[in-house]
Amino acid sequence: MPPPAARRSRRRLPVAALTAVLAAVTLGAPSPASASDSAADEDYLIGRGISDVTGEAAETGMMGYSSFDQKTSGIHQRQRSRAFVVVDRTSGKRVVYVNADLAMIFQSVRQGVLARLKERYGSLYGEENVLLSATHTHSGPGGHSHNIAYNLSVLGFQKKTYQAIVDGIADSVAKAHQDLKPGALSLGTGTLTNASVNRSRAAFDRNPAADRAAFPDAIDPAMTVLRFRQGREDVGAINWFATHNTSITNKNTLISPDNKGYASYAWEHDHEGVRYLDDAPGFVAAFPNTNAGDMSPNLNLKPGSGPTEDEFENARIIGERQLAKAREIHRDAKPVTGGVDSRLAYVDMEDVTVGGAYTPDGEEHRTCPAVVGASTLAGSVEDGPAIPLFEEGMRTPVAPILEALRVDTPSWLATCQYPKASLIPTGLLSDVLPVTPKRLPLQIMKIGELHLVAAPGEFTIASGLRVRRTVAERLGVPLDRVLLQGYANSYSQYVTTPEEYDAQNYEGGSTLYGRYTLPAYQQEYARIADSLRAGTPLDRGTAPPDESGRQFTFQTGVVYDNPPSGKAFGSVLKAPASSYALGSTATVEFATGHPKNNVRRGSTFLEVQRLENGTWMRVLDDGDWETTYRWTRLNGLTGTSKATITWRIAPDTAPGTYRIVHHGDAKSLLGRITPFTGATGTFTVK
């Protein structure tokens, strides 16, 4: 992983000097964009918060690529949850928006977060006014669903990762709640054309001309930015753009928030001076996805390729492109008004009768019990192929493969799902065990003039367009004031148009509820939009059950840890050189324990420290771009392992005296977990 290209200088200042600079920036003259604003414009209470959601950093299957071989082995950057609370000061209504560096938001996570919020705030935050979304990184630990299909490659439910995610999201909301102050909203739009490519063009081209005309380059280039201000201070932004968060491939085993996480980090850390471990309020920059189902960041249409052949460099570049456009739109965003509100209903997506107003032929149709199609297991060759022998475009069952899997799909269900090559009838299996979801939360949230259609899946750009058109028409608002917020509140795989479904590419094979899945969504979102516009109550429907009591895991835990012979935990196994030049790389090794002993949420496994006036000051940790923490098992029988810490020394690093510190935890034979810290000797950077 090469060092990042030239960015804004990040030379580390002594704490006193840094404090003075930040005070001058905060207390100085307002920026031109906010100079004319006054308290009279502060129609809202606005709060923002960030918290760590990083789970188990070693020997845990990763979520996204369905690869049994992809298991965590350390951290490139930590995953974070970013929350915003907005209160309409006139009506008193409030909403919560969260975007987290996760592959998906599963219903299990939503249930856990809502339970935490209820414990803290009673009925203030609940099902209707809380929207949880994910960036869709494929480089985080999995096992946090209650549906077997999404835990299978992870070897089951991973309790510590689940707890880290739920606790972290709840904490980010709590910080936003505590941060509430009078403020204002601004909104801007723009286009970005060099950060995505259509990975399923043949399917997209089957859509009607009216859909294709909306996307001349077969991509959705729209970026929408919601700007948050408290008084005269800019405190955050949400930057929606459709591209898969898969610049980093399934060969990687380090936890990373990928391109969207890099964009957030660069804005917060590099431009706004946020230091996450300081646990102080700072600028919050969220980069959520919209209808990214067929949008890939791999511009050369193969994993890890485009713009370069280095996957981490690609994550940085695609992140930088999103960041640059977002900051441009943010600068020119215009003030908006309007209240906040939200509606949510649970819908049994396996049993929806869809009226002819939403179907291509104008006839009534039904959705089906969920079925995973054979082409699903092929994966997306542009972002990460999965299982051999399965190919995109498969329309008929491959008898030998299906016989090997010993799964029988009833003829009536195969007919309902036609032309899908039905592989696994997960909807029928879910009557016994929770394999894939059945009842899904559908939500529309209003924040000022913006309306978010919270969708529990991955919608293609044409699917998202149709939903947006439906909702905009029912609400009576411009189309650009309605966004499809993907990866929200639950997860049910892909949603294609009926025309795309017929191609049975990966996305079509992963559209669980049959050819009329999208029309069903359109119909149900129209019903929710009508309630929101009229201000009338909405039938909530039946929520899915809590499946936490039916979870299992095949993943072994930590038995015990031992340091190498003659060493103690935290001992340096590989020392740094005496000096390093700017732009070079420092690599050190420590005797360590298993990182599963303590995920260190809100903390770090490493520090790069600089000697300043006789005191060691932390300048980098395991959430920073330039560092990596990697865990390696040396001997399974003796429980011996090492931690390798790498620092790619950026060209703008302040010269001086440094050391590298490792924090870890070790488990004894009796099960006691004890923290330890080790430090290298000093070295210079010049």
Contact call for residues 73 and 596 (beta carbons, < 8 A): no
Number of domains making up the chain: 2
Distance from C-alpha of 512 to C-alpha of 495, rounded to nearest angstrom = 8
For residue 576, give the amino acid letter.
Answer: P
Q: How sure is the predictor about 386, in pLDDT bands with cuts at 50, 70 and 90? A: low
Q: Which amino acid is it at 511?
A: T
Query: Six-digit token pair at 477?
Result: 């608002």
According to the model, what pLDDT value does residue 382 have?
65
What kind and span of H or E run contains 261? Answer: helix 258-265
Q: Which helix (H) or strand (E) holds 515?
A: none
DSSP labels, 582-623 = TT-EEEEEEEE--GGG---TTS-SEEEEEEETTEEEEEEETT
Same domain, 324 and 227: yes
Largest separation between any pair of C-alpha atoms in the chain:
78
Residues in contact with 499: Cβ distance below 8 Å, sequence separation at least 6, in sequence order: 203, 206, 207, 208, 360
Residue 380 lies in a domain: no
pLDDT over 70 percentage in the chain: 90
**Residue after which a domain boundary falls, among 548, 580, 613:** 548
385 located within any domain: no
Q: What is the pLDDT, as a whole number, of residue 376?
A: 73
- Span 416-440, average pLDDT: 92
Say whether both 458 and 581 belong to one domain: no
Q: Do residues 129 and 262 share a domain? A: yes
- Choose the catalytic residue: 51, 186, 264, 296: 296
For 135-180, strand residue ranges (E) read 140-141
> 492 catalytic, yes or no?
no
Mean pLDDT of 396-414: 61
**Do 587 and 543 share a structural domain?**
no
Please tell me the pTM assigned to this model: 0.92
Q: Is residue 230 part of a domain?
A: yes
For residue 640, what is the domain's CATH number?
2.60.40.2300
Find the angle CA(83)-CA(4)-CA(82) to the nearest 5 degrees: 5
Is residue 330 located within the same domain as residue 445?
A: yes
C-alpha 59, offset from chain centre? 21
Are 341 and 205 within one domain?
Answer: yes
Judgement on whether residues 444 and 486 belong to the same structural domain of the protein: yes
**Tokens linked to 565:** 């012979």
Structural contact between residues 378 and 385, judged by C-beta atoms closer than 8 angstroms: yes
Structural domain boundaries enclosing 599: 572-685
160-174, 333-347, 385-399, 511-525, range with the lowest pLDDT: 385-399
Residue 2 lies in a domain: no
Instruction: Give the residue-averaged pLDDT of 64-77.
Output: 95
Token pair listed for 569: 């935990």
352 within a domain of the structure (yes/no): no
Query: For residue 418, is it within any domain?
Result: no
Residue 329 structure tokens: 């739109």
592 shares its domain with 544: no
Strand partners, 587: 646
- Is residue 17 very low, low, confident or very high in pLDDT (cuts 50, 70, 90)? very low
Phi, psi of 353 (to 5 degrees): -90, 120
Beta strands in 153-304 (DSSP E): 181-191, 197-198, 222-230, 233-241, 254-255, 284-286, 295-296
Which residues sit opposite 446 in a β-bridge?
341, 451
Indicate if 466 and 581 belong to the same structural domain: no
Q: What is the model's pLDDT at position 398?
A: 33
State the pLDDT at residue 33. Answer: 39
Indicate if 606 and 472 belong to the same structural domain. Answer: no
Domain presence at residue 322:
yes
| Band (432; pLDDT cuts 50, 70, 90) | confident
Clarify whether residues 74 and 129 are in a common domain.
Answer: yes
* 23 sits in which H/E element: helix 15-27
Secondary structure element (H or E) that encloses residue 486, with its range: none
**pLDDT of 62 above 70:** yes
Q: Are the C-beta atoms of 156 and 553 separated by less than 8 Å?
A: yes
Do 579 and 486 share a structural domain? no
> What's the distance, Cα to Cα, between the start and end of the chain in Å?
21
Q: Residue 332: left (phi > 0), alpha (psi -120 to 50), or beta?
A: alpha
Question: Is residue 516, in this structure, part of any structural domain at all?
Answer: no
